[in-house]
Copies of this chain bind each other. A is one copy, B any other.
Amino acid sequence: MEITVMSNILEKNEEIAAELNARFSKRGIFVVNLLGSPGCGKTSLVEQTVRLLNNDFSLAIIEGDLYTSKDADRIAACGAPVVQINTHGGCHLDAAMVKAAISQLDLEQIDILIVENVGNLVCPAEFAVGEHAKVVILSVTEGEDKPLKYPAVFQQSAAVLINKVDLLPYTDFAIDAAIGDIRGLNPNANLFNVSCKTASSLAGWLEWLKKQVIMLRKQKSD
């Protein structure tokens, strides 16, 4: 019985996510579902991405947290439209939450929508929110064993960012082992080593993101 109920929840979520995805594609809005542990650097990446891309593309952000509007406050300070979802204890966002949140955004004005999910390497992987791509961040301070211990999120992500590489000298993170494990789980993942403290390290990530918007618009016009 538990399994039936769970399967119904997931099916219903897939339905709303597919409907959202079609709406976003039709408007040429590229949507990222941004995943990672608490403190891996999701909000820092969003801040930098808004700052560095906002001249060329219009970004909007949906922030998912159990409580507080701390992350939305940080994004608003960067000048992007942002909606904070509070799950009140819930461990992941779902498509219905995102559907409700976008009613507060002017979709006409958006090129890229980043949905920053709840900090959690497990549950958010099961619930699509209408995205074109999942992106996961692993920070070097978490240890290189995490991809094999939390494989689903790495298998499903189109891009994997290894963050906080500025801290590599102070940790025993074996970056080659981490990259090998990620490639083993997901040979097609786009892999970027970044530090959100250094804009230049984000060039590869920003290029990838821009390319996705352009490809989406091209598909739309074909």
Contact string against B for A residues 130-155, beta-carbon threshold 8 Å, 1 for contact and 0 otherwise: 00000000010111011011111000
Closest to A167 in B: B170
Given A142-B38, A170-B170, are A148 and B68 also a contact pair (CB < 8 Å)? yes
Q: How far apart sit A101 and B146, CA to CA, in the bound complex (Å)?
A: 23
Interface status of A81 (Cβ within 8 A of chain B): no
Q: How far is the CB of A191 from chain B (nearest CB, A)?
A: 18
Please name all residues of chain B whose beta carbon is closer than 8 Å to the beta carbon of A39 when the two chains form the complex.
37, 139, 141-143, 146
Given A2-B9, A91-B122, are A164 and B141 also a contact pair (CB < 8 Å)? yes
Please name all residues of chain B whose beta carbon is closer than 8 Å to the beta carbon of A89 when the two chains form the complex.
122, 152
Interface status of A186 (Cβ within 8 A of chain B): no
Please report A residues at the B interface, Cβ cutoff 8 Å.
Answer: 1-2, 5, 9, 37-39, 65-68, 70, 89-91, 118-123, 139, 141-143, 145-146, 148-152, 164, 166-167, 170-171
